[in-house]
Amino acid sequence: MAAIKRYFRSPAAVAGLILLAIVIAMAISASFLYPRDPLALAGRPLLWPLANPRFPLGTDNSGRDIAAQIFYGARISLLIGGVATAIAILIGILVGAVAGFYGGWIDNVLMRITEAFQTLPNFLLLLVLVAVFGSTLTTVTIAVGVVSWPAPARLTRAEFLSLRNREFVQAGRILGMRDLQLIFSEILPNALPPVIVYASVVMAVAILLESALAFLHLSDPNVASWGNLIGLGRDVLRVQWYVSAIPGIAILITVLAVSLVGQGLNDALNPRLKRR
């Protein structure tokens, strides 16, 4: 396919894909490399990296292996990033498609709701949701998804607005298509590329949101996540800064990888825009 070829022509996009592959490999290999519970006590607390060959990245303030937590944390970050993004994009596409396709008062109502969500600071809303529904992994993931849908919704709506009066949609209507078929089989495939590209932004933000929650000790404490580790390191930040810095770098690399892939996708799907 031409789009795939174009993707691999960009070094930044390929680098992003490699980084992402590394993070995914870490997530997959976690249970082979570290069969023990990553949250179990492993050795002396606050060992510096490379001080003990058993703990290449050192241990945290409770004596747990940081390397193991980084590997298992990749799972959590990818899980939250992936599922929350799927939720956000799904809600966004549904709301945006219906609003853009029908227009009129339906559009008005849906867009006012979307704006209400958008004007509230994301993180504040997330805090409220977590405070109300508790901070298990499931609720955190859903909550991150639920606060991230307005932007994809607006994007989908804009695409639908420009596509809904195209002649091929009118042709479908004259052939006797129902609205659902017009929305999902005629318009949506044409509206999707920018939304898919935007999904990478949503994913990066979702990973950051979870880490921010964990930093405030508000994420699920029973899983090994990068955010939890940063939150833990907060107490010893001035001396044993590596406890926070190592998971911080992991987050940085993952978010960078996701956005490079997103940018690469964008250039591959819209080749004309790039040349200008």
Partner 1 sequence: MSGTAAILSIEGLSVRLPAGADRSHALKDVSLSVAADEILCIVGESGSGKSMLANAIMRLLPNEVTIDGGRMIFEASDLGAASEAEMRKHRGADIAMIFQEPMTALNPLRTIGDQIAEVFSVHTDLSRAEITGRVLALLADVRIPDPNAAAKAYPHELSGGQRQRAVIAMALALDPKLLIADEPTTALDVTTQAQILKLIRELQQRRRTAVLFITHDFGVVAEIADRVVVMQQGRIVEQGPAAEVLDHPQAPYTRQLIAAVPPLDAPPARKLSQDHILTISNVSKTYRTGGFLGRRARVTRAVNDVSLTLPRGATLGIVGESGSGKSTLARCLVRLIDPDQGSIMLLGKDFVTMPRGKLREETRHIQMVFQDPFASLNPRHKAVELVAQGPIIHGTPRARAIAEAKELFALVGLDPSAADRFPHEFSGGQRQRIGLARALALKPAVLVADEPVSALDVSVQAQVLELLADLRARLGLSIVFITHDLRVAAQICDLVAVMKDGVIVEQGLAGETFANPQHPYTRALLASVPGGAFARHHATEPA
Where on the chain is the footprint of partner 1 (CB under 8 A)?
166-168, 170-178, 181, 186, 189-190, 275
**Which CB atom, from 48 or from 184, has the smaller least distance to partner 1?**
184
| Nearby residues of 239 by Cβ (< 8 Å), 6 or more positions away | none
Q: In the complex, what is the shortest distance from the CB of residue 58 to partner 1, in angstroms, rounded to a whole number?
A: 52
Inter-CA distances, 245 with 30, 79, 148, 230, 234, Å: 20, 22, 27, 7, 10
Q: In the complex, what is the shortest distance from the CB of residue 178 to partner 1, in angstroms, rounded to a whole number?
A: 7
Of 155, 141, 145, whose CA–CA distance to 220 is shortest?
Answer: 141
Distance CA 258, CA 82 (A): 11
**Which CB atom, from 61 or from 170, has the smaller least distance to partner 1?**
170
**Which CB atom, from 97 or from 255, has the smaller least distance to partner 1?**
97
Per-residue tokens: 62 = 């409770």
Q: In the complex, what is the shortest distance from the CB of residue 139 to partner 1, in angstroms, rounded to a whole number?
A: 37
Of 211, 197, 209, 225, whose CA–CA distance to 27 is shortest?
Answer: 225
Q: In the complex, what is the shortest distance from the CB of residue 267 to partner 1, in angstroms, rounded to a whole number?
A: 17
Compute φ and ψ for 49, nearest 5 degrees.
-55, 145
**Which CB atom, from 36 or from 166, has the smaller least distance to partner 1?**
166
